Amino acid sequence: MNSLIDTYTLNNGVKIPVVGFGTWQTPAGAVAKVAVKSALSSGYRHIDTAEMYGNEQSVGAAVKESGISRHSLFITSKLNNGAHDYQAATAAIEQSLKDLQLSTLDLFLIHWPNPKPFRTDNWEKRLQETWRALEDAYRAGKIRAIGVSNFRKRHFEILKETQTVVPMVNQIRICPGDLDTETISYCQQNQILLEAYSPLGTGEIFSDKTLQALAKKNKRTVAQICLRWSLQHHFLPLPKSIHEERIEENTKLFDFTLSEQDMTTIDQLDGIVGYAADPDTVNF
C-alpha cells in the first residue's frame, strides 16, 4: 500500500480504497461540507456516511461541488435503524440515493443487526427481510456492494439461513485496546472485509503512555500510529475529523512501517478505551 487510492478487493471483485473518511457526529450543513471537501482535497476518495448521521445531503452536496469524477470516488451509507423490513429498507435505499444525489451507491450497510425497537419483535426474520432488500438493490445495480455493521458471528449465522449474497463488509469498532478477536477471525475466515470505525478510539487513546512512546520512537503522531496499525492488520480504518490539519495529518500513513515488535505491543493493549452506553449496543 502506497497511498489513499490503493484498494482492497471485496469478495465480489469490487475495489475499495484502503482508508475512508468518516462523518459520524459531523454536523450537517457547512461543517460537514467543509470537512468532506477538505478530505477530498487531501486525497481521500472514500467517504463514509449513514442515514442516522443526518448529514447525507451535506455529504452529497460536497461531493458534487468537489468536481471530482464520480468514477474516482467510493461512497458508503448505512440503513436507518427504523427501517428493518423489506419495504422500509427498500425505501430507505432510494432516499439515501436521492439525498446523496447519486444514481448508484458503492456500498450500503445494515447499520445494526437488531435495533432496540425491534429486539423483541421477531428481529431475526426482520433482519433476513432487510438483507433481502439489500440483495435486490444490489442485483438491480443500485448498490455495487452490500454489507453490515456491528455484526457478530451469531448475526451472520441468522443471515446465512436465507441469504443468496454473502456480505462483503462488516464495519465494527476496531482500535488499539479494542479487538473483538472472535468477530475479526470469523470475518477473515469468510472473506468479509473489516472496516474499522472509531479507529482512534476515544480521547483516552491519545494519553496512553505506550502509544505516546511508539509515536515518539517512529517520529509520528499517536493517530498516525493507530491508523498504520490498522492498515498493517489489513483493516480499513475510517478516521473522522472536522479540522483541516487533522484531516491532512491522518493521510500521512504510507511512508513508514511499524515493526513486528511495535505491532505486538499495540495488539497487547487492553482497557485503554471505553464504550459509549448506547442503547443499541446493549445485549445485541
Task: Determine contact, residues 23/32, Cβ cutoff 8 Å.
Answer: yes
Residue 8 known to be catalytic: no
Q: Are 190 and 159 in contact (CB under 8 A)?
A: no
Distance CA 101, CA 110 (A): 20
In the 3-class helix/strand/coil scheme, how is the chain assigned residue by residue? CCCCCCEEECCCCCEEECCCEECCCCCCCHHHHHHHHHHHHCCCCEEECCHHHCCHHHHHHHHHHHCCCHHHCEEEEEECCCCCCHHHHHHHHHHHHHHHCCCCECEEEECCCCCHHHCCCCHHHHHHHHHHHHHHHHHCCCECCEEEECCCHHHHHHHHCCCCCCCCEEEEECECCECCHHHHHHHHHCCCEEEEECCCCCHHHHHCHHHHHHHHHHCCCHHHHHHHHHHHCCCEEECCCCCHHHHHHCCCCCCCCCCHHHHHHHHCCCCCCCCCCCHHHCCC
Q: Which of 53, 138, 186, 197 is catalytic?
A: 53
Separation in Å, CA 54 to CA 100, 102, 161, 172: 11, 17, 32, 20
Residue 25 makes CB contacts below 8 A (sequence gap 6+) with: 53, 240
Active site residues: 53
